[in-house]
Amino acid sequence: MNHDIDVKKLRVNCFRQSKVAGEFMIQLRVPGSLIKAKYLAVIQHIAETWGNGTFHIGTRQTLNAPGIKYKYVDEVNAYIQDYIKEIEIEACGIDMESNEAGYPTIGARNIVACIGNSHCIKGNVNTHELARKMEKEIFPSHYHMKMNIAGCPNDCSKAHFCDFGIIGLTIPEYMPERCIGCGRCATVCKKVATGVLELVNNKIEKDMCCCVGCGECVSACPSGAWAYSKQKFYRVMIGGRTGKQTPRMGKMFLNWVTEDVLIAVIKNWQSFSATILENKPLYLHGGHLIDKAGYHRFRELMLKDVKLNPEAMVAERIFWTETEYRSNINVKKPIA
């Protein structure tokens, strides 16, 4: 039966092949990992009507219904057109149509995000608002890219392990007239961050070279001597990945960039991908595409026409370290 099924076409349609012949799993995108609770009824209806009655929360925080037989794919696609319209077009402002054909591409997976400062006391930025802005720059697309957004350097969403990882930062503002010289901020910074604060003559001195922009000093201060910066900043990690071959943690590409700069950079992703792949979209993930281009070519194309803010820092070069394996086991079979 599977010989008559175009699995690649279904994958573009956000259906994933099952080990059971003729069965698939639909993946409903959840941009920014936040939607209204009413949409849980959508995945419930799909699972109970066309699937096997279960649903899975995907590793990219998608809503997945397994056990859908191939003959029901068209019915599922027709059913989800309202979901796509409301989630993608209306909520994110994505330029696409919603019709009975279902998802137009799986190229850019939905952006994964932690809860951010809409709830978390550690969050420096609103991850969901940013995700919605970023989605319309990368989706729909036949060029592959995985993006995660973390509200602070704790990186609960694992921004270090995807093609593009975005981390929300703050440059805390110190008001010495409010400081009571307790040194609590310095103690906390040393314990949970990078130890860049020091109490000198009952006032705080800071070494900016190693500040990670976490804002722990703001939370720790009992007198309000530290405040979050009004301007939000971001760190961009690139090339992180898991997988069977050469898994690695991403490296820092940009630091202390503003949202305007961040969006301008991501706008260049499509043209970068097209240039490197000679306008022939392949199933090649973003980290591997960066490797194919080389860092300097990647930097050149991604920063094209981008005006950096004064605080911004750009990596001059990136050195990737891969794990090498050597085996003494002879796995060759003897010739009969």
* Contact of 185 with 175, CB cutoff 8 Å: no
What is the pLDDT at residue 244?
84
Instruction: Tell me which CATH homologous superfamily contains domain 112-170+232-314.
Output: Sulfite Reductase Hemoprotein, domain 1 (3.30.413.10)
Mean pLDDT: which of 2-11, 285-294, 315-324 is highest? 285-294
Q: How far apart are CA 109 and CA 262, in angstroms?
A: 19
* Contact of 198 with 211, CB cutoff 8 Å: no
When comparing pLDDT for 233 and 6, which is higher? Answer: 233
Instruction: State the fold for domain 2-92.
Output: Sulfite Reductase Hemoprotein; domain 2 (3.90.480)
What is the pLDDT at residue 1?
47
Q: Boundaries of CATH 3.30.413.10 in the chain?
A: 112-170+232-314
What is the per-residue pLDDT across 149-181, written as a single tens digit (0 to 9) for each? 999 999 999 999 999 999 999 999 999 999 999
Q: Boundaries of CATH 3.30.70.20 in the chain?
A: 174-226
* CA–CA distances in Å: residue 288 to residues 110, 294, 295: 19, 10, 11
Residue 208: DSSP 8-state:
G
Residue 243 one-letter amino acid: G
Could you tell me the pTM of the whole model? 0.92
Q: Of 147, 136, 17, 153, which is closest to residue 88 (Cα–Cα)?
A: 136
* CA–CA distances in Å: residue 76 to residues 62, 65, 90, 258, 275: 16, 11, 21, 40, 35
Average pLDDT of every residue of the chain: 93
Give the position of tokens 């729909």: 140
Give the position of tokens 């609103």: 126
When comparing pLDDT for 323 and 288, which is higher? Answer: 288
* Contact of 198 with 224, CB cutoff 8 Å: no
- Range scoring the smallest mean pLDDT among 84-98, 253-267, 312-326: 312-326
Instruction: State the fold for domain 174-226.
Output: Alpha-Beta Plaits (3.30.70)
